Amino acid sequence: MSDQDPGLTEGRARKALGQHFLFDPDILRRTALAAGPVEGRTVIEVGPGPGGLTRALLKEGVGKLIAVEADERFASALTDWPEAATGQLSVHQGDARKVHWEKLIGEAGGETPAMIIANLPYNVGTPLLVDWLKTGPWRGEMALMFQKEVAERIVAGPGTSHYGRLAVLAHAVCNAHIAFTLPPGAFRPPPKVDSAVAVLTPLPAEKRFEDVETLEKVSTAAFGQRRKMLRASLKSLAKSRGVDATEWLESCDIDPTARAETLTQEEFRALARRLTTLYASPISSRT
């Protein structure tokens, strides 16, 4: 591991935690800056591991870096860094899926909107992203390392093979693109697939969709049986709400025989809005 910064923490990656570490300084700097300048900003990093990206972010002058690490070895080592003593670095040991993010930012003395920049552990990346997409204004720009196929699913457009629930949810609140890709050999240990950094920039407030919870339910049902016509794939969801799927689709000017991958972001939004207006409260509060 000759390319490792001598100031970083030694320790083998744990497969159970989905750990694959980056040590190349150029790649780490590109990742740190992929979503824009971090100087003076509050940044959240999930899964810092030995601290390669952590070091790159600190070098770029973050105002407050909040590192969330489940692995006690690395969390403990990060608390000994000089930046932790000065308060520039705040370390939280625990499962990122259980964090109350806005509360954590406040307790660390950070400011919002906070950027999220991370080489995400492969086994928690997707659920974390979905949770972040459904959050409020505390979340700012994101630059996230995923398996390449997952990144492609985030940025995909209608009519493409990767288009699905993740793309619908991402584009409901963000502009998304892939900044760059990396081969397995860039990591220690090498994963079995290529990786990519997906950059997600929040849409202006007036362009964001207001009910991502409902949109998630609609898109999950629609793509759950993606080879079927929408009147069939949405039938169970519609029935559970006392709605006829064909009538629901037609009320949104959508062909009931169409398939999910042909629907635009606006059409998915229309379906979610229409389903919500049929009741006194959103779907998310009724399930």
Q: What is the pLDDT of residue 21?
A: 79
Distance, in Å, from the CA atom of 249 to the CA atom of 169, rounded to the nearest integer, reads: 19
Residue 87 resides in a domain: yes
pLDDT tens digit sequence for 208-223: 998 999 999 999 999 9
| Residue 106 identity | G
Q: Please tell me whether residues 225 and 150 are part of one structural domain.
A: no
Say whether pLDDT at 4 is over 90: no
pLDDT tens digit sequence for 167-209: 999 999 999 999 999 999 898 878 889 999 999 999 999 999 9
Q: What is the residue range of 244's domain?
A: 212-285
Q: Give me the number of domains the chain comprises.
A: 2
Mean pLDDT of the chain: 91
Query: In 10 A of CB 204, how many CB atoms?
Result: 6
Q: What is the pLDDT of residue 54?
A: 97
Binding residue ranges = 20, 22, 47, 69, 95, 119
Reduced to 3 states (helix: H, G, I; strand: E, B; else coil), residue 271 is helix
Instruction: Using the structure block, give the residue that is written with the tokens 């457009």.
Output: 157
CB 188 within 8 Å of CB 20: yes
Domain end marker among 144, 172, 207:
207
Say whether pLDDT at 250 is over 90: yes
Q: Please tell me whether residues 35 and 122 are part of one structural domain.
A: yes
Residues 6 or more apart whose CB falls under 8 angstroms from that of 118 comprise: 44, 45, 46, 47, 48, 53, 143, 144, 145
Binding residue ranges for S-adenosyl-L-methionine = 20, 22, 47, 69, 95, 119
CATH number of the domain where residue 226 is located: 1.10.8.100
pLDDT tens digit sequence for 80-107: 999 999 999 999 999 999 999 999 999 9
Say whether pLDDT at 2 is over 70: no
CATH number of the domain where residue 56 is located: 3.40.50.150
Q: Please tell me whether residues 219 and 200 are part of one structural domain.
A: no
Residue 269 resides in a domain: yes
Residue 111 resides in a domain: yes
Q: What is the pLDDT of residue 268?
A: 98
Cis peptide before 191 (omega within 30 of 0): no
pLDDT tens digit sequence for 21-74: 788 999 999 999 999 999 999 999 999 999 999 999 999 999 999 999 999 999
Distance, in Å, from the CA atom of 212 to the CA atom of 158, rounded to the nearest integer, reads: 18
Is residue 253 very low, low, confident or very high in pLDDT (cuts 50, 70, 90)?
Answer: very high
In terms of Cα–Cα distance, which of 90, 104, 95 is closest to 123? 95
Is residue 280 very low, low, confident or very high in pLDDT (cuts 50, 70, 90)?
Answer: very low
Model pTM?
0.90
Q: Please tell me whether residues 197 and 217 are part of one structural domain.
A: no
Domain end marker among 207, 240, 275:
207
Distance, in Å, from the CA atom of 74 to the CA atom of 69, rounded to the nearest integer, reads: 7
Q: Please tell me whether residues 24 and 135 are part of one structural domain.
A: yes
